[in-house]
Structure 1
């Protein structure tokens, strides 16, 4: 069989169009493709919910790819290893309470298993705005990341979701959009984004879970975005809290959807 470039092109366009159209209305939309977002997407999709993820970069995985300072190993505390075990990631005990995993295996496996569970992922897309109805977030306004980076004036498109998860890490991209639209109305102690504090791994891992919650009607925060929103410290290259945060936000949302 002689390969036809037009058939190849048509196949890509047709299949992408099908995927895009089927993702315009969702139970949950996740912004940010790091470990907390992927774990949340996995559990939600596994439970039969319609879930879609948008990642501004070409690659999925966030900071987990690089481990610590590009030493591609990650540390996970004992409380979170059940999540990596469920995904089938190889874990090695380092000493009591500390476990390690290959960061490339970990994040690629999280990505693959999440997609296989039914999570729809769109990379190279950025959130430009949110859709709000009666002081509640009901959807996202999207554009290509390349459009945003080049500063071109091109109107975006929109998707609807019953709930949004901001899992964009330090950037808190969706929370910042909401705060700009309705200043002082976030469900934090000051009504504003508190901002992340300096590294304190032990406290950060605990606060990541505590801060994983709804910050504005319809909008949840998870992972490092939770700490950055509520003023928790950064945790560095230990990822148990990120995994547990994704698990927690999925459980919380499954009780509401």
Structure 2
């Protein structure tokens, strides 16, 4: 599956527009699948694909220092592990970044996935999502 776009309603991310990878590879014209969601969590890794789509479509309105996807810094596991938890957050209404997508979005170092930061990031993302859904 490939993420083609996000669904936006009243300046809030409310889902994803997806298509099958073979459709993209073969350049076929097939209607995408739209998946509605109260909250979207970007866990696309180093590429932070969903955050980049939101930046491209909605402008530099992300909750980062620059307003956009800052890109990850070079490998520094200790710092990356520390910062991944604080970087796991809602960066646009309805969009949470977690894992390496969080560090890439917020400009922190990459890290080896041998520590607990990735698990703690996922736990934090789930807690944030549950809190957001209670208020929707």
| Same structural fold, with TM-score higher than 0.5 when normalized by the shorter chain | yes
Equivalent of 1:154 in 9, 30, 34: 30
Match of 1:98 in 2: none
Question: In structure 2, what is the Cα distance between the partners aligned to 1:216 and 1:129?
Answer: 15
Equivalent of 1:210 in 86, 97, 100: 86
Q: Secondary structure at the match of 1:255?
A: helix
Shift of 1:152: 2.3
- Give the TM-score, by structure 2 length: 0.93
Structure with the greater alpha carbon radius of gyration: 1
Shift of 1:218: 0.2
Match of 1:192 in 2: 68
Equivalent of 1:134 in 2, 7, 10: 10
Shift of 1:251: 1.3
Q: Secondary structure at the match of 2:70?
A: coil
Equivalent of 1:167 in 28, 43, 48: 43
Shift of 1:237: 3.6
- Any stretches of 5+ residues in structure 1 without a counterpart? 1-124
Q: Secondary structure at the match of 2:111?
A: coil
Cα deviation per residue 1:143-164 (whole Å; 9 max; x = unaligned)? 1012123332222020110000
Shift of 1:213: 0.1
Q: Secondary structure at the match of 1:206?
A: helix
Equivalent of 1:227 in 103, 119, 127: 103
CA contact (8 A) 2:98 2:125 kept: yes
Cα deviation per residue 1:6-61 (whole Å; 9 max; x = unaligned)? xxxxxxxxxxxxxxxxxxxxxxxxxxxxxxxxxxxxxxxxxxxxxxxxxxxxxxxx
Q: Secondary structure at the match of 2:31?
A: coil
Question: In structure 2, what is the Cα distance between the partners aligned to 1:239 and 1:251?
Answer: 20
CA RMSD between the two structures: 1.1
Q: Secondary structure at the match of 1:190?
A: coil
Cα deviation per residue 1:83-104 (whole Å; 9 max; x = unaligned)? xxxxxxxxxxxxxxxxxxxxxx
CA contact (8 A) 1:136 1:216 kept: yes
Question: In structure 2, what is the Cα distance between the partners aligned to 1:174 and 1:158?
Answer: 14
CA contact (8 A) 1:201 1:238 kept: no
Number of aligned residues: 133
Cα deviation per residue 1:186-234 (whole Å; 9 max; x = unaligned)? 1111111100000001000011101000010000000000000000000
Equivalent of 2:56 in 163, 172, 180: 180
- Any stretches of 5+ residues in structure 2 without a counterpart? none
